[in-house]
Amino acid sequence: MDIHKRQKRTINDAFASHFAKSMFLSVSAIIILSFIATRMFTHVDLNLYGYMVGTIVFLGGFFYRFIAWGERPPTKIFIKKGIKLLFRKSTPKTSVEQLATYKFIWNRGIYRWTQHVMIGWGCILSCFVTFPLVFGWMYFTMDENGYYTVVALGIDVMSVKADGIIAFFFYNALNFTAIMVIIGVCMALYRRLKNMQARAEQTFMYDFLPLYLLLLISITGLALTFMNVFLHGTGQPIMSLIHQYSVIITLIYLPFGKLAHIPFRPLSVFARNYREHYAEQLMKDCKVCGTQFVSEEQSNDVRNVLGVNEIDFHMEDGFHLAELCLPCRRKYRISKFSGIPTHEIMVKEANQNAKG
């Protein structure tokens, strides 16, 4: 038993940190898959080399951001319990609602839902097309009979007619996703320029820059197709570099800006399972109004995490601030400034039961 423990420690000690270990394993997995998929690197497109480097840098930033976030006490609890609840019967339904249909945004209105669907699925589908091509997990070979052979992970999957409808969608997949992203980004920009609440809260670097980067990628990508089809390739080398640089810059920026929620989004399934499962066990009553506002488990977790961070919210009135629902918590804070026990006044806020 002691020998196994020593061996395990030796393996972990080979890396300076969790970040180094995760990065090494991820890059190794990519190289192995590329080696297999490209039939020992015999089908490598060097024109995509820049995208490959940008993706590896993105992985480094992503793991750095994720591990820094995952080491926090509340995140450890959230991930640990989320993994345990991953095989609930409702997980497939929750995954579809959170990751595919964006039902949680539907409550905010059809405009914002359409905007998120266009941007979200436009980016996701673009990644599904781009990354396999970049790392050689998928490529096409041309036969003399006018058919393309689709090769995935080194295996001939299917043959399609070069001028057929299926080939047309293969050729233009990124054009379709670019149009989706442009529509979604334009909707988001319009809302941010017209909506007064959004205008009051937004900043250029955090809210507008990600949208402009997505817009630049999409427009330059469509420009490449336009130059190839209508201008017979005129200006394509320069536009290709502009497009490639825009993609690389966005990949490097992605883990550290607002777009980071795209790769982090699957963890929303953990959060939903956590809330639903423990809400079914036992709910917590607000100490002031008696409303059931959160599960007993989540309330205890919040208090434990605050204790780990040496933060004490025990009030002189005999309760912990985490034992109050949000409306009563806000009223209680007001009472500390006004001297009037506003938290004991049983009046609901105008948007207290708002959804989304």
Q: What is the structure's pLDDT at 347?
A: 60
Mean pLDDT in residue range 140-158: 82
Amino acid at 282: L
**End-to-end Cα separation, the chain, in angstroms:** 51
pLDDT digits (tens, 9 = 90+) for 258-282: 888 888 888 889 888 988 898 888 8
Q: How far is CA 154 from the centre of its chain?
A: 29
Beta-carbon contacts of 185 under 8 Å, excluding residues fewer than 6 positions away, are 119, 211, 214, 215, 218
Model confidence at 1, in pLDDT bands (50, 70, 90)? Answer: very low
Beta-carbon contacts of 31 under 8 Å, excluding residues fewer than 6 positions away, are none
> Is residue 139 within a helix (H) or strand (E), and if so which, with residue range?
strand 138-142
Q: What is the structure's pLDDT at 189?
A: 93
pTM of the complete model: 0.80
Q: What is the structure's pLDDT at 264?
A: 87
Pull the structure tokens for residue 301: 């977790």
pLDDT digits (tens, 9 = 90+) for 85-133: 888 888 999 999 988 999 888 888 899 999 999 999 999 999 999 988 8
DSSP 353: T
Q: What is the structure's pLDDT at 136?
A: 85
Structure-token match 């089908």, residue found: 43
pLDDT score of 348 more than 90: no
Nearest to 235 by CA among 248, 222, 223, 218: 223
Cα distance between residue 356 and residue 347, in whole Å: 22
Pull the structure tokens for residue 287: 């100490």
Q: What is the structure's pLDDT at 249?
A: 93
Cα distance between residue 275 and residue 280, in whole Å: 9
Q: What is the structure's pLDDT at 342?
A: 61
Domain 9-268: give its CATH code: 1.20.950
Beta-carbon contacts of 168 under 8 Å, excluding residues fewer than 6 positions away, are none
> CA-CA distances (angstroms) from residue 28 to 22, 135, 255, 276?
10, 12, 21, 37
- Cβ 45 vs Cβ 133: under 8 Å: yes
- Extents of the domains making up the chain: 9-268, 282-344
Mean pLDDT in residue range 283-311: 84
Q: What is the structure's pLDDT at 344?
A: 64
Structure-token match 């394993």, residue found: 25
Query: Is the torsion defined by CA of 160, 162, 165, 170 positive or negative?
Result: positive
